[in-house]
Amino acid sequence: MDESLIKEIVCRILAVASPQKVILFGSAASGGMTHDSDIDLLVIENDPGDRRKNSARLMEVLGGLGYPFDVIVISTEWFEESKD
């Protein structure tokens, strides 16, 4: 994944959401992407509301970038608790 794609992903996410963090994981993060890979993102928000709806909305705004996306939205509280 090149830097210009990362910047575009961040810009598109910030246009519709106010995440505390966006974490890239999976093969895109480890450098093992192939032509069949998707891009996995963990989006952490203070109050994510309807997480499924927000995930779908983010996947929609990321459309057209040449890769399928898997976006998981969770709360900051859940993320912090899961680190323990």
Residue 1 has pLDDT above 90, yes or no: no
> For the whole model, what pTM was predicted?
0.91
For the chain, what is the domain count?
1
Contacts of range 12-17, beta carbons closer than 8 Å, 24 or more positions apart: 12/61, 12/62, 13/41, 13/43, 13/58, 13/61, 13/62, 15/61, 16/57, 16/58, 16/61, 17/43, 17/45, 17/54, 17/57, 17/58
- The whole domain housing 23 covers 3-82
The share of the chain scoring above pLDDT 90, in percent, equals 87
Question: For 41-57, what is each residue's pLDDT tens digit?
Answer: 999 999 988 999 999 99
Domain of 77, CATH number, reads: 3.30.460.10
